[in-house]
Structure 1
Amino acid sequence: MRALLVMLGGSLMLAACGPSAEQQAAANEAAAANAVEAQQMATQVEALSPGQRDGVFIRAIRDAGLRCQGVTSSERGEKPGSWVATCQEGSRHIITFGANGMANVTSFTPQPAPQR
């Protein structure tokens, strides 16, 4: 009987650890608002001229602490709202913008195709 009470008490404590329905609803609402703001930011970046857009991208790359002498080209990425910027020295970076306007920069170097 005592073991049953301990298991029941433990189960009740675990159930109390999860978010309430109101907390979950508030979190879902905040996530939806962030998604809308991120889409608005993506639309603003897309509306820039190519030169202005590349200027924004080089600033984001340098702010991320990465080297880039100049952005020579940029194109839309595979993920909606993402861009791929290529620097003069050949480095490439995926840039996305969050709802707060902050840029997220992920660098990658394409691997050359294997020679046969």
Structure 2
Amino acid sequence: MKHILAIAAGAALAACTPATDEGNSSNAATSAPAANGTDYVAEIRTMAPEQRKATFLRAIRDAQQACQQVVAEQDAGPMNGEAAWTVRCEDGRGWMIVIARDGNAKVTGPVAAKGTTSR
């Protein structure tokens, strides 16, 4: 797993793993907050939309995927017990970002970005 420290307005993603399939991660599980007690999913949910887009952009880039700007993002609900968002980049490609409460993130895609709305 590739470790990152992506700080966007006070929130961070502790790790990011690229994936190229559209399926759900078979090893995803409900997680506890980070060792320092921070619930990164809760912090991401309370971010302003532009801060959340910047955080997702960093996760996509750290997963070594191309994206110049996240133009839309939407909470996708739980995915195998973890919080998930769909995001759309300026080039039209969509990504699924699954984030555990401890900050571990998995970027999957590109995926269909239907229903993703700009916030």
TM-score, scaled to structure 1: 0.59
CA displacement at 1:98 relative to structure 2 = 2.6
Q: Is the 8 A contact 2:41 2:101 kept in 1?
A: no
- Deviation by residue 1:8-59 (Cα, 9 ceiling, x = unmatched): xxxxxxxxxxxxxxxxxxxxxxxx9x62327922111100000000000000
In structure 1, C-alpha distance between the alignment counterparts of 2:56 and 2:112, rounded to whole Å: 19
RMSD between aligned alpha carbons?
A: 2.7
Shift >6 Å, 4+ stretches: none
- Give 2:89's aligned residue: 87
- Give 1:109's aligned residue: 111
User: Which protein is richer in strand relative to its size?
Assistant: 2
Q: Is the 8 A contact 2:39 2:102 kept in 1?
A: no
Q: Is the 8 A contact 2:60 2:107 kept in 1?
A: yes
User: Which protein is richer in helix relative to its size?
Assistant: 1
Aligned partner of residue 69 in structure 1, secondary structure: coil
CA displacement at 1:99 relative to structure 2 = 4.2
- Count of equivalent residues: 80
Q: Is the 8 A contact 2:69 2:90 kept in 1?
A: yes
Identity %: 29
In structure 2, C-alpha distance between the alignment counterparts of 1:84 and 1:90, rounded to whole Å: 12
Greater RCO, CA 8 A, separation 6+: 2
In 2 relative to 1, CA 99–61 (structure 1 residues): closer, same or farther, beyond 3 Å?
same
In structure 2, C-alpha distance between the alignment counterparts of 1:57 and 1:93, rounded to whole Å: 9
